[in-house]
Amino acid sequence: MPSDSNDFTSSRRTINRRGLFALGGGVAAATTLSMVSRAPSAWAGPSADADVIVIGAGLAGMVATTELVAAGRRVLLLDQEPEQSLGGQAHWSLGGLFFIDSVEQRLAGIKDSFDLARADWFRTAGWDRGPDDIHGEDYWGKRWAESYLQFAAGEKQSWLRGLGMNWVPVVGWAERGQADGGIGNSVPRFHITMGTGPGVVEPFEKLVRVAAGKSITFKFRHQVDELVVTNGAISGVRGTVLEPSGAARGTPSSRTKVGEFEFRAAQVIVTSGGIGANHELVRRNWPARLGKAPAHMITGVPAHVDGRMLAIGESAGARLVNRDRMWHYTEGLKNYAPIWPGHGIRVLGAPSSMWFDAEGRPLPAPGIPSVDTLGTLDLIMKTGYDYSWFVLNKKIISKEFTLSGSEQNPELTGKDLVAYLANRALTDVPAPVKAFMDKGEDFVIADTVPELAAGMNKLVGKDLIQADALRDEIGRRDSELGNPNSTDPRIVAIRRSRDYIGDNLVRTTEPHPILAPDAGPLIAIRMNILTRKTLGGLQTDLSGRVLNAQGEPVHGLYAAGEVAGFGGGGVHGYRSLEGTFLGGCLFSGRQTGRGAAKDGA
């Protein structure tokens, strides 16, 4: 049974199209197929293949499935990838989670509260598409945000702790904005999970594996191409059985078709992820407010993040909202050892690196590492180039560079906190960062500014950087360090960071001149635009029911995770406070699993 070769267990009622082709040849199979698709549907009910079909075995799909199983439902969990990619993007993630007023925050003396976080979130989201009009694109996203904030300030941490998760005691300060009450996190809230992404996936993977063959039937290499609608309600899915694949996790698997399938259920949950690997879709939906889409981008997600299910959902009547809202990073390094096509790694920097445009002009605020992702993207897009430069030195890179991704953080992924903290506290360059310095094509390392400028020009093949101007700019910044009342936003950002004990200990270097001879060599890094997250998606209500253009539920259809804009088609509005994507999958997966279980009772 080749199409079942990737299953944990085979379904009693599988329609195995490859079997049909093998037995009867193409014509006979085609006849049988059309008979099947014309069959009057009471596809739900006793003849169904499952109570609920879940499309996508990433984090959101697994969480929804565990809720359904807990409620006594039979689930068919489909994924186009092979079994070894179970967990989707979350496996590769850094495992950063947004909590409000957590144990770790309190231990560090960080004063957080629901009200503060809500104010930060709402300012940062900037909803402006009918947030209070039930037909508005932002209506449900805003409501999901209210709910999610309560979850993040309430049971989120104790629920996850109860599942065996815990976090690095030093809370990170991502997306901090400027100290002007504008967008961003006014306090640190980014909690890196011990075990990074795999540590987030682990408890849910255990739960679904335990139920495999009982309440859950897995079908890997099953790519959904269509949602079947019968009498105005979802009644199942159709798709392509892909050939078995031994592709390593995260590497592209073949799309060679070996059969077709059709499964029946009265409820279908779509948890298929975003669009980040599909540059064509990213470009087509690129927001006009950010000008023309970059000609060159690198890719922050595996190839399966292809966005196909969004259009498939629309064809079944779903409303797709906020399609021009995306979360791409501006500090992307080309991976010298790519896992997926165009693989880029995001640098989570701290404020000491200087940020220059392609012609060597310093970026104005908010172009400061860790401050404002989309604000910086906007600045870079206005330069007419699709890359920018970090200029720093060895002392800064040693302490201030964290590379996002489970494979780039071996100590944390291996849950070895002592080794991690020792590595961060000592001034040595962490091994994954050193590997990029040695092998990464975006790096220029030099002892003097003229050599650095020459290396930068050589890398891009144009003389865009003038060594004298570069030295003047670095000197200007360095001399500001001597002014205790400096209003230079870069210096203010460093001081603000150093005032927070967590950053002071492990993230932000003591202020020093970039040109200090004992802090070198000098380093310049070409930073690429890196695609990652999708903030818009299928519009859902608070039970995860997918809505149509009239705001009515598409009967039987649900969505969670990134494909649903992490809830409601846009829980973040325009911008995220970070750590909210995994959290969004956990919360929307949970709510939607529970919602579907309740509706199906």
Ligand X SMILES: Cc1cc2nc3c(=O)[nH]c(=O)nc-3n(C[C@H](O)[C@H](O)[C@H](O)COP(=O)(O)OP(=O)(O)OC[C@H]3O[C@@H](n4cnc5c(N)ncnc54)[C@H](O)[C@@H]3O)c2cc1C
- Omega before 521 within 30 of 0, i.e. cis: yes
CB-CB contact of 376 with 355 (8 Å): yes
Nearer to ligand X, 88 or 502 (CB): 88
Write down the least CB distance from residue 351 to ligand X, Å: 20
Write down the least CB distance from residue 116 to ligand X, Å: 20
Judging by DSSP bridges, how do beta strands 222-230 and 233-242 pair with one another?
A: antiparallel
| Number of Cβ atoms within 10 Å of the Cβ of 365 | 17
Write down the least CB distance from residue 148 to ligand X, Å: 12
Write down the least CB distance from residue 343 to ligand X, Å: 9
Dump strand ranges (E) for 119-188.
none
Write down the least CB distance from residue 15 to ligand X, Å: 16
The Cα–Cα gap between 23 and 31 comes to: 13
Report phi then psi at 297, rounded to 5.
Answer: -135, 155
Of the candidates 223, 20, 242, 195, the one whose C-alpha atom is nearest the C-alpha of residue 92 is: 195
Distances 513 to 8, 94, 198, 433, 447 between C-alpha atoms, Å: 58, 31, 39, 22, 14
Nearer to ligand X, 186 or 406 (CB): 406
Nearer to ligand X, 327 or 356 (CB): 327
Nearer to ligand X, 95 or 294 (CB): 95
The Cα–Cα gap between 312 and 569 comes to: 16
Nearer to ligand X, 141 or 579 (CB): 579
Write down the least CB distance from residue 1 to ligand X, Å: 19
Nearer to ligand X, 136 or 198 (CB): 198
Q: What is the DSSP string of 394-429?
A: HHHHHHH-EE-SGGG-HHHHTT-HHHHHHHHHSSSP
Write down the least CB distance from residue 330 to ligand X, Å: 15
The Cα–Cα gap between 223 and 245 comes to: 13
Nearer to ligand X, 78 or 381 (CB): 78
Nearer to ligand X, 271 or 591 (CB): 271
| Number of Cβ atoms within 10 Å of the Cβ of 164 | 12
The helix/strand/coil state of 578 is: coil
Of the candidates 266, 257, 251, 404, the one whose C-alpha atom is nearest the C-alpha of residue 332 is: 404
The helix/strand/coil state of 443 is: strand
Write down the least CB distance from residue 306 to ligand X, Å: 6
Report phi then psi at 254, rounded to 5.
Answer: -70, 155
The helix/strand/coil state of 449 is: helix
CB-CB contact of 565 with 322 (8 Å): yes
CB-CB contact of 123 with 434 (8 Å): no
Nearer to ligand X, 294 or 344 (CB): 344
Nearer to ligand X, 302 or 489 (CB): 302
Residues contacting residue 9 through CB under 8 Å, at least 6 positions apart: 212, 213, 217, 218
Task: Give Rg (Cα) of the chain.
Answer: 25
Write down the least CB distance from residue 50 to ligand X, Å: 15
The Cα–Cα gap between 86 and 205 comes to: 8
Write down the least CB distance from residue 127 to ligand X, Å: 20
Nearer to ligand X, 148 or 355 (CB): 148
- Per the rule left: phi > 0, alpha: psi between -120 and 50, beta: everything else, 126 is left
Nearer to ligand X, 58 or 375 (CB): 58
* Angle formed at CA 240 by CA 237 and CA 241, multiple of 5 degrees: 115
Axis crossing angle, helix 196-211 with helix 580-599, rounded to the nearest 10: 20
Write down the least CB distance from residue 599 to ligand X, Å: 21
Write down the least CB distance from residue 490 to ligand X, Å: 25
Binding stretches for ligand X (CB under 6 A): 55-61, 78-81, 85, 88-90, 92-96, 223-224, 271-273, 300-301, 304-305, 308-309, 404-405, 533, 561-562, 579-583, 585
